[in-house]
Amino acid sequence: MRRLTNLLVVFVAAAARVAANDQQVFRQHATPDSKLAQRTYDQASSTGNLIFWSVNSLLQQWPNTRYINGHTITAAAVLPGTILYHGRGNDDRPVALDWLATDPEHSVVFCRSKCYLYTYVTTRALRLAYFDGSSAAKIRPSGVMDTQDILIWGKVRPDMTRNEAGRIRELCKWGEQFELDGFVRMEMDFEVMICDFGAGMELVSESQIVPHASEERHRPDSMDLFYPSPPPPPPPRPQPLPELPPGWRGSARSRISISFEVLNSGTWHNRSPGEKRVKIDYSRVVSFFDPALSSLAKARTGKSREEFRLDEISETDSKYIREQLHDIFTRTGQGSGIDWGSITQVIVDRYGKRLELLQHILQNPGSKRNITEQVAEVRSQALIMLTPYMLVSAIPPNPTGPVDPSWIDPVVKHCASTHTAWAPSTLLTPQEKLIKVAVEAVLFRICGVLGDIWKDAFDSGETGLNALQRLLGKWQSDIEQLMDWLDWSMWLKCEPICGPEEICYIPTWPWGYRFDRNEGEKVDMTPRCIEAVAPYSFLQPFEP
Ligand SMILES: *[C@@H]1O[C@H](CO)[C@@H](O)[C@H](O)[C@H]1NC(C)=O
C-alpha cells in the first residue's frame, strides 16, 4: 500500500490520503493555479470511483435506475432535427412549461379516452441542463430530486417532491438568466422539460390517434416481490371508456401493454451509448461527488451507495455548487474538447469483462483447475490485461536475496497514466480536472491490483502448493475489493440471461418502487427476467 501511495503521488498526482512527507512531491504535480485541483487532489481517490461511475453512466437508463439519487448536473444539448413527442387526452397544444418525451411510447401513457400526439422537431441546438439519476421519478422519501432542489432553492425541499407544476416553473425561471430552453430528466424513460415551445422547435404533426383500452387502476402488484408487507390495493376507480373510431374492429391496445412499452423503450437506452439524442458537454459536468463538498462527504459516511443523498449539504457547499452552475452556463469556450465519456467507456470496455473473468477463475467453481493450473491461468489473464504496458525493461533483478518489488512500478505507471498524461491542465475546465483525477484514480487502482498480481505470479512456477494457495486467496480478495469499489453497472445483470419473450428488469418507478415509502425501506435490486408479452404477469396497469 505504501508503494502504491508513492506511485500515486509521483505518477498520477491523485492520491486519497497523501502521507505528510509526500506532500512536497504531490505539490509539484498539482497545478499551482487551481484551488479546485488542490482541494480535489487531496481526497480524489475517495470519490474517484463515484465520479468515474457517474460520468460513465450519464444518460444511461440502467445505472440511473440502479442508483436513483442523482449526483450530477451537466450542460446538455438536443441537436437540430431531433424528433420529440407530447401525448395527452385533449387537444390543448402545449405552449410553455410542459414535457416532451424522446420516445412516443412514453408520451402515449398520458392519453385518456382520447389520444392526441404532438410531434416536434428541434430547429436549433436546445440549451439544456441534465439531472442524472431517476430525476423525474415521483418517489418519497428519496433523493431523486435533490440536485434540482439545490439548483433552484439551494437546499432540499421534500415538500416539493410531487409539485411538478411548481417545479417546472421554478426551473425555467432559474434558467432564464442563462437562456436555457429546458431540462432533461429520466424516469421510466427520458424526458425534456420545455420552457417555451415557440423557441428552437417546430410542430411536425398534431394527430388524434387511436386510444388504448382503459382498465381499473391498481397499485402495481409487483410490490409483492420487493416489499415484505405490501399495502392493500386502493379501490378500483371507474375509468372513461376509450373512444374508438367508428369501424374499428377487434381489441384496442391494453393499458398494461402501454405501461410495459414505456418501460421497454427505456431499456433501449440501458447501456452505453445511452440516450443518444441528448449530448453531454463534458467540460461542464458538475458533480456532487466533488470531494471539496465536505458536508456531503460527511453525510455519506457509513451509508451504502443507494442511500447517498444531498439533504445534508451545508450552505457553503450549496453555494459552491451554485457558483459552479453559474460558471458553466455563462462561460464561453469548450474546455479541452476531450470526450471524457468515451475515455471512461474505453476503460470499462477494456477491463469490465476481463475482471469478471478473472474473478470467475479465482473462484474456481466446480474445481475445474487444480491449484497450479489456476495460478497459471490468473498469470495469463494479468499478462493479457497488462500487455500494452509490459515494458521489456520491467523485469525483476536476479532473485538472489530479497527482491525490491518496485520493478513493477513502470508497468503500473504506464498502465495508469496512458489516457490522461497528455491532458493539458491549462485547457481543462475545473469540472474536467475533477473527471481527470477520477479517471486516474480508477486506472491507478485497476493497474495497481493487476501489477501486484503480475508481480506475485511472475515466477510462481517455482512456488510450493501452500504458498500458491495463499496467493490465490490474496488475489481473490484483491479483485473482489477492486470490483466492489468500482461497482460498474455492467456487472449487475440477469443470470441466466432472459428468454426471447422477456426483458431484464430492476425495480423502475412506478413498478417496484412505492410512490411513498417508509424511511429506510429497502428495495431488492436483484435483476430479474419479466414477461415482455401478454399477460405481462409482472406488471399491473399504472395511471400517471
Ligand atoms: C494439475 O493438473 C496438471 C494437468 O492435469 C498436472 O500436470 C499437474 O501435475 C497437476 N498439479 C497438481 C498440483 O495436482
**Residues 216-259 pLDDT 10s:** 444 444 444 444 444 555 566 666 788 999 999 999 998 889 98
Rounded mean pLDDT, 312-320: 98
Local structure of residue 92 (DSSP, 8 states): -
Residue 26, pLDDT score: 30
Kindly report the backbone phi and psi dihedral angles of residue 420, in degrees, each rounded to the nearest multiple of 5, phi listed first. Answer: -125, -10
Question: For ligand 1, atom 9, which residue shows the shortest CA distance?
Answer: 372
Which ligand 1 atom sits nearest the alpha carbon of residue 370? 1
Question: For ligand 1, atom 8, which residue shows the shortest CA distance?
Answer: 372
- The verdict on the CB of residue 372 being under 6 Å from ligand 1 is yes
Taken in order 539, 540, 541, 544, the sign of the CA dihedral is: negative
> Which one is predicted more confidently, 41 or 121?
121
Residue 21, pLDDT score: 28
Question: For ligand 1, atom 14, which residue shows the shortest CA distance?
Answer: 370
Least-confidence region, from 34-48, 102-116, 372-386, 472-486: 34-48
| Distance (Å) of CA 7 to CA 68, 331, 532 | 35, 36, 50
H-type alpha helices, 201-339: 223-226, 255-267, 294-300, 315-330
Question: For ligand 1, atom 2, which residue shows the shortest CA distance?
Answer: 370
Residue 46, pLDDT score: 81
Residue 519, pLDDT above cutoff 70? yes
Closest CA to 436 of 34, 51, 143, 4: 51
d(CA 186, CA 509) in angstroms, rounded, equals 10
CB contact at 8 A, 325 and 147? no
Three-state secondary-structure class, residue 204: strand
Which ligand 1 atom sits nearest the alpha carbon of residue 465? 13
Amino acid at 94: P
Residue 520, pLDDT score: 76
Rounded mean pLDDT, 174-189: 98
Percent of the chain past pLDDT 70, that is, above it, reads 85
Residue 527 cell numbers, joined: 435483476
CB contact at 8 A, 349 and 61? no
Centroid of chain to Cα 424:
26
Residue 193, pLDDT above cutoff 90? yes
Least-confidence region, from 190-199, 404-413, 489-498, 518-527: 518-527
CB contact at 8 A, 269 and 275? yes
Ligand 1 center from residue 373 Cα (angstroms): 7
Looking from the CA of 142 toward its CB, the CA atoms found within 13 Å total: 27
Ligand 1 center from residue 456 Cα (angstroms): 20
Question: For ligand 1, atom 1, which residue shows the shortest CA distance?
Answer: 370
Residue 3, pLDDT score: 44
Angle at 185 between CA 181 and CA 191, to 5 degrees: 75
Residue 29, pLDDT above cutoff 70? no
Ligand 1 center from residue 489 Cα (angstroms): 37
Closest CA to 86 of 261, 207, 210: 207
Ligand 1 center from residue 372 Cα (angstroms): 7
Rounded mean pLDDT, 9-31: 32
Closest CA to 517 of 175, 28, 139: 139
pTM of the model: 0.89
Ligand 1 center from residue 370 Cα (angstroms): 6
Ligand 1 center from residue 369 Cα (angstroms): 8
Ligand 1 center from residue 468 Cα (angstroms): 13
Q: Bridge-partner residues for 202, per DSSP?
A: 121
Residue 7, pLDDT score: 39
Taken in order 275, 277, 283, 287, the sign of the CA dihedral is: negative
Which ligand 1 atom sits nearest the alpha carbon of residue 373? 1
Q: Bridge-partner residues for 194, per DSSP?
A: 98, 182
Ligand 1 center from residue 481 Cα (angstroms): 29
What is the helix (H) or strand (E) element at residue 142, kind and residue range?
none
pLDDT tens readout for residues 275-313: 999 999 999 999 999 999 999 999 999 999 999 999 999
Is the bond into 535 cis (omega within 30 degrees of 0)?
Answer: yes
Ligand 1 center from residue 475 Cα (angstroms): 21
Which of 372, 375, 460, 465 has most ligand 1 atoms within 8 Å of its beta carbon, as the pocket-test mutant? 372
Which of 371, 373, 471, 472 has most ligand 1 atoms within 8 Å of its beta carbon, as the pocket-test mutant? 373
Residue 28, pLDDT above cutoff 80? no
- The verdict on the CB of residue 461 being under 6 Å from ligand 1 is no
Which ligand 1 atom sits nearest the alpha carbon of residue 371? 13
Three-state secondary-structure class, residue 288: coil
Ligand 1 center from residue 449 Cα (angstroms): 27
How high does pLDDT run on average in the chain?
87
DSSP assignment string, 68-81: -S--EEEEEEE-TT
Ligand 1 center from residue 405 Cα (angstroms): 29
Residue 398, pLDDT above cutoff 90? no
Ligand 1 center from residue 357 Cα (angstroms): 22
Ligand 1 center from residue 460 Cα (angstroms): 14
Residue appearing with cell numbers 474456481: 364
Which of 370, 374, 460, 466 has most ligand 1 atoms within 8 Å of its beta carbon, as the pocket-test mutant? 370
Ligand 1 center from residue 381 Cα (angstroms): 19
- The verdict on the CB of residue 373 being under 6 Å from ligand 1 is yes
d(CA 287, CA 115) in angstroms, rounded, equals 40
> How does 38-64 read in b/e, with b if 16+ C-beta sit within 10 Å?
ebbbbbbbbbbbbbbbbbbbbbbbbbb
Neighbouring C-beta atoms of residue 526, cutoff 10 Å: 11
Rounded mean pLDDT, 330-343: 95
CB contact at 8 A, 214 and 255? yes
CB contact at 8 A, 407 and 397? yes
Ligand 1 center from residue 371 Cα (angstroms): 8
**528-531 and 502-505: which strand pairing?**
antiparallel
pLDDT tens readout for residues 66-118: 999 999 999 999 999 999 999 999 999 999 999 999 999 999 999 999 999 99
- The verdict on the CB of residue 370 being under 6 Å from ligand 1 is yes
* Long-range CB contact pairs, 224-232, < 8 A, 24+: 225/512, 225/524, 225/528, 225/538, 226/507, 226/512, 226/513, 226/523, 226/524, 227/514, 227/521, 227/523, 231/514
d(CA 44, CA 37) in angstroms, rounded, equals 9
Question: For ligand 1, atom 13, which residue shows the shortest CA distance?
Answer: 372
- The verdict on the CB of residue 368 being under 6 Å from ligand 1 is no
